[in-house]
Amino acid sequence: MDQIIYLFTKKYFYKLVHNYKNNIIYSNIIMIIILLLLLLLTSYSIKVRLMETEINFNVIFNIKKIHNIKSIIFSSYLGVNYKTFSRKYNIWIKNNNNFIYKPNGGHNKIFNDKEEKDIFNEILNRINNYEFVDNDTIKILAEEKFKEKNNVKQFKASNGWLHRFKKKFNLISKGYKIRNAKEITQEQLIEFYGKCKLLEKKYNKNRIFNMDETYNLLIPNYKSLVSLRRKKRYYKQIGNVKEGYTATYIISASGIFLPPVITLKGKTKKVFKKISSIDSTKIINTFSRTGWITESIMISILNKIKIYTNNEKCVLILDNYSIHKTENVINYAKKLNIELFFIPPNMTHKLQPLDVKINGIIKPLMRKNNKLNLIKNVYRKNTYESSINLLLSSVETIREKTIISAFKEALDFTY
């Protein structure tokens, strides 16, 4: 590229200067124009060469570390868009964990890199165990670490030290969700997986089922809507925002999704008129006064499973919902040769196949399809039929291998 530029300038430079050699002003102007063109072409050739070769972020990181040069200088020098350069550089930093070893402080530094990393590992261990960690916790851990290394001097962690420490190790203060502390221990988890292995040997995969209930609102709650600044936002919706129904999903370890059990709120079978147009072979209709499943509905579900298995022995994996564990339900399950296998409390998010994969597919799909329908028809009234049709269309997208992988991931099944 450089040779082409050189030949181009050599050929046309002498032509133009020869034509205007008697006029000094014109010849000077032409020389300036040619030099500017040469500069532009040269910078373009440099950009082409840089685009052809990958940027060495390792070298850039070392230069920034020593000379404290800003990213915008590198991006302009390399001829790369600043935002693109910053994004790729930050990705490289995260992948290489260079923020952990970034030097901080001078000759009077309180902790060396190893000691700071020990504090960080202690914080990380507490975070992974869902323990309480805030800014004061980090300060206390730092002060205790300093006492271990020096019993004479005193050290009190300041807000400035805390800010630098959190920045160095990529820590932030953010909101949190409460999780019940009564989770099982590692020994109990190993024992539970051992029981799962026995189930896998005892029953055929066509005879292992998982059941879970979820409440679906007819009108989903959306977190935010577009609005003008400093203006209150109202949303006109037809219907009761708390109205809904319970959908009970049952899946087998062989990858079969049984017809969902729909529980409507009502006192008599007249409530089924709300969903009269839906094919009765695709769902199982039930009703209760609260809209949630009851003991009688649970017994009817056991009967449906028994019919599906042709009266063969099977196992039903459940959470610890009180209706699942009543005396009548347990006795009736024994009568039908259905073993009830309960997941440890507060562990359904990890150990229940439906919670691990399936529910996370159905709910977002229902919300997405409901939103598309709402966009097409703003004043459309959400009905039980429309909501259940969305549910059925979402269930149809669940593939057999997705259900099998849910059992593998949650219960450590091998097939």
**pLDDT value at position 48?**
45
Residue 185, token pair as written in the block: 């221990």
Which residue ranges form the domains of the chain, and what is each CATH number? 2-98 (no CATH), 104-168 (no CATH), 186-222+234-411 (3.30.420.10)
Select from 341, 345, 355, 343 the least CA-distant residue to 409: 355
Provide the residue-wise pLDDT of the chain in tens; the chain has 415 residues.
444 444 445 445 555 555 545 555 666 676 677 767 766 665 555 444 444 445 677 777 777 666 667 777 777 777 778 778 788 877 877 777 544 444 455 545 788 888 889 999 999 888 887 788 888 889 888 888 888 877 667 788 888 889 999 988 889 888 877 766 566 778 888 888 999 999 989 999 999 999 999 999 887 777 777 777 777 777 666 667 788 999 999 999 999 999 999 999 999 999 999 998 998 889 999 999 989 999 999 999 999 999 999 889 999 999 999 999 999 999 999 999 999 999 988 888 889 999 999 999 998 898 888 888 777 775 567 789 989 999 999 999 999 999 999 999 998 887 6
**pLDDT value at position 145?**
87
In order of 90, 193, 285, 344, the CA distances from 189 in angstroms are: 38, 6, 37, 9
- Residue 9, phi-psi category: left (phi > 0), alpha (psi -120 to 50), beta (remainder): alpha
CA 83/CA 171 separation, integer angstroms: 23
**pLDDT value at position 224?**
73
